[in-house]
Chains A and B, each alone.
Chain A
């Protein structure tokens, strides 16, 4: 795998963001989910074709200033500040889970800043009759079962391995908790923060990828995104749960690259 470069950018007076950056070509911003950011094979493969910028959300890793962000709106403006700092007027966004939700918010708030939108199993909606799992009240064993279909796979083993050394273990768990805490700022106690009323504003070409056996956010949620986003294609992938981009790596990379290079742009209305 490529070794991504680490960048640190002061994006406004209150927020400094750390990013992993790798590859050459058209820029793609990857927004991570509530579990945090890791340079994984999906990002690695994307970086073969694109310049991937993967920011740590404020409050995660070396990104600071979460306490200055009051709500989803504040978070959206912070990401626009990041785009400004990177001198990106309009950019491709890929986001997983919570990152997919943030991507949708970015595209709904100012459609001119987002070129193409690719949410993977995005959060942001809540169906009281088919509730998604509560990631904030889940022991790690239960979380593992819900987000990866094949518990014996290398993906599963790599994701939940803890170091043997106690000091390292404590450090890893503190990072996990801090990451979830930052996510909680925008997802607690339910991830419905009004996105359902804003999805209609997304005019950007949009591809949503969802694992057919998603054990965390049921695949039925995809249909509500489809019903509300005017220009959206849905790809449901069999034999995958919530971590679909790693569980079905090649298929997801292929779909992502095709979408992110397709001649599908039209001027923003």
Chain B
């Protein structure tokens, strides 16, 4: 099993009455709530934590892209990834993941081919390229992409980027949405033929086929844990079987909020407040922004609309409003929390149940302060990871993970050292 230390980079100091007073954590949260001095601390705390994750031997450090979002402060994940690449290049174990760039938002999309090639070269061929469609909030409402064009633009951008990465000659692109006379991005990618591609998705049915047919790794990114993820991963594996593909667990990953402490009781004391912050404030999204018409295809609507119409699909803030608390979130599997033994046991169960090899760990839960984040990262790396590392020994991850050339190109950290 492989572990990604992932950070959404949430703002930690939203006001206590945020969810009562404001409509949404996304699209319209008032900018006046953001204090750049606190923001400065937060960015560097989180970057420190990701660099520390490299020291701790996580298999990857990961960042992602959101816009106008108070719990996801990385409108440009590539900026932060480039900082991390300086440390990753020296590591024997840790890769660098941008999970990812919402392809339809980059015009022209060769910008993604260029920046990701830079990251691949900077990291020493240890880069994993995430290609999400992006949420409706990010792509349609904030970046203004027409929902009736979003998926076409995404697929066209994907085809263009892959062609740019795998073609040696300068070529011309005459697409529906992009016309480029001369496509020839420098630098070229470090990995041959290109970095592994991961597709983060919310479970739209088209994404299964797209990931499987291209041999990309599919990551189900939700904040509702493994029990919820099963609804998505079961059909994914069914589809893999139907296409006659193997069941390599590294074809898939899922996101999990994880909180480790000395004991189960101590975990509640340490983390409950911050988990409540996450579900009550960070999961407070105005219904009117959840989905532009056409964001989901008709096939996905057919699969998912029922639970919305019968009221069973709810936001975190609504659940908190109904009185749910720490124990419920742990019981429902939204959070895996407790002593190292408890966390290892539950995470192993979840991974077996979902048959996934890649665990995208959300170790920064809501308003957690720096020390607690470092504690969570360290305890997981030292006391949980060793117990789970050797899961799936019979499977080869190399289609979905980079090998890198960092060792041979390693240079000293400081210009002064010799």
List A residues at the B interface (Cβ < 8 Å).
Answer: 59, 66-67, 70, 136-139, 142, 166, 169-170, 173-174, 177-185, 188-189
Contacts of B302 in A (CB 8 A): 170, 174
Asked whether B144 lies within 8 Å of A189 as measured between CB atoms, the reply is yes
Contacts of A188 in B (CB 8 A): 140, 144, 146-148, 292
Asked whether B288 lies within 8 Å of A137 as measured between CB atoms, the reply is yes
Contacts of A177 in B (CB 8 A): 293-294, 301
Q: Is B289 an interface residue (CB 8 A)?
A: yes
Contacts of B31 in A (CB 8 A): none
Q: Is B242 an interface residue (CB 8 A)?
A: no
Contacts of B144 in A (CB 8 A): 188-189
State the main secondary structure of chain B at its contact with A: helix
Asked whether A181 lies within 8 Å of B306 as measured between CB atoms, the reply is no
Give the contacts of B117-159 with A (CB-CB under 8 A): 140-141, 144, 146-149, 152
Q: Is B287 an interface residue (CB 8 A)?
A: yes
The 5 closest A-B pairs by CB, nearest first: A181-B294, A180-B293, A185-B148, A181-B293, A188-B146
Interface residues on B, range: 20 to 34
Which residue of the partner chain A has the closest CB to B287?
A139
Asked whether A182 lies within 8 Å of B148 as measured between CB atoms, the reply is yes
List B residues at the A interface (Cβ < 8 Å).
Answer: 140-141, 144, 146-149, 152, 176, 287-289, 292-294, 298, 301-302, 305-306, 309-310
Asked whether B298 lies within 8 Å of A178 as measured between CB atoms, the reply is yes
When chains A and B are docked, how far (Å) is the Cα of A139 from the Cα of B306?
Answer: 17
Q: Looking at the complex, which one of A166, A169, A178, A184 makes contact with B292 (CB distance below 8 Å)?
A: A184
Contacts of B148 in A (CB 8 A): 59, 66, 181-182, 184-185, 188
Which residue of the partner chain B has the closest CB to A174?
B301
Query: Contacts A184-B147, A185-B148, A185-B149 hold; do A136 and B293 have CB atoms under 8 A apart?
Result: yes
Query: Contacts A166-B310, A173-B305 hold; do A136 and B292 have CB atoms under 8 A apart?
Result: yes
When chains A and B are docked, how far (Å) is the Cα of A181 from the Cα of B300?
Answer: 14
Asked whether B294 lies within 8 Å of A173 as measured between CB atoms, the reply is no
When chains A and B are docked, how far (Å) is the Cα of A174 from the Cα of B141?
Answer: 20
Which residue of the partner chain B has the closest CB to A138?
B288
Asked whether B294 lies within 8 Å of A178 as measured between CB atoms, the reply is yes
When chains A and B are docked, how far (Å) is the Cα of A183 from the Cα of B301?
Answer: 18
Contacts of B310 in A (CB 8 A): 166
When chains A and B are docked, how far (Å) is the Cα of A72 from the Cα of B144?
Answer: 17
Least Cβ–Cβ distance between A162 and chain B, in angstroms: 8
Least Cβ–Cβ distance between B74 and chain A, in angstroms: 23
Asked whether B146 lies within 8 Å of A185 as measured between CB atoms, the reply is yes
Asked whether B289 lies within 8 Å of A137 as measured between CB atoms, the reply is yes
Which residue of the partner chain A has the closest CB to B310?
A166
Apart from A174-B302, A181-B147, A184-B148, 14 more pairs, CB < 8 Å = A136-B140, A136-B147, A137-B288, A138-B288, A166-B310, A170-B309, A174-B305, A177-B294, A177-B301, A178-B293, A184-B146, A188-B292, A189-B141, A189-B146
Q: List 6 A-B contacts (CB under 8 A).
A: A70-B176, A174-B298, A177-B294, A177-B301, A181-B294, A184-B292
Which residue of the partner chain A has the closest CB to B286?
A137
Contacts of A184 in B (CB 8 A): 146-148, 292-294
Least Cβ–Cβ distance between B310 and chain A, in angstroms: 7
Which residue of the partner chain A has the closest CB to B309?
A169
Query: Contacts A138-B288, A188-B147 hold; do A170 and B306 have CB atoms under 8 A apart?
Result: yes
Which residue of the partner chain A has the closest CB to B147?
A184
Contacts of A173 in B (CB 8 A): 301, 305, 309
When chains A and B are docked, how far (Å) is the Cα of A178 from the Cα of B309?
Answer: 16
Least Cβ–Cβ distance between B114 and chain A, in angstroms: 27
When chains A and B are docked, how far (Å) is the Cα of A188 from the Cα of B310?
Answer: 29
Least Cβ–Cβ distance between B25 and chain A, in angstroms: 15
Asked whether A67 lies within 8 Å of B288 as measured between CB atoms, the reply is no
Least Cβ–Cβ distance between A175 and chain B, in angstroms: 10
Residue with the highest number of chain B CB atoms closer than 10 Å, among A66, A70, A139, A188: A188
Contacts of B294 in A (CB 8 A): 177-178, 180-181, 184
Contacts of A138 in B (CB 8 A): 288
Least Cβ–Cβ distance between A170 and chain B, in angstroms: 5
Least Cβ–Cβ distance between A257 and chain B, in angstroms: 34
When chains A and B are docked, how far (Å) is the Cα of A184 from the Cα of B288?
Answer: 15
When chains A and B are docked, how far (Å) is the Cα of A180 from the Cα of B293?
Answer: 6
Contacts of A182 in B (CB 8 A): 148
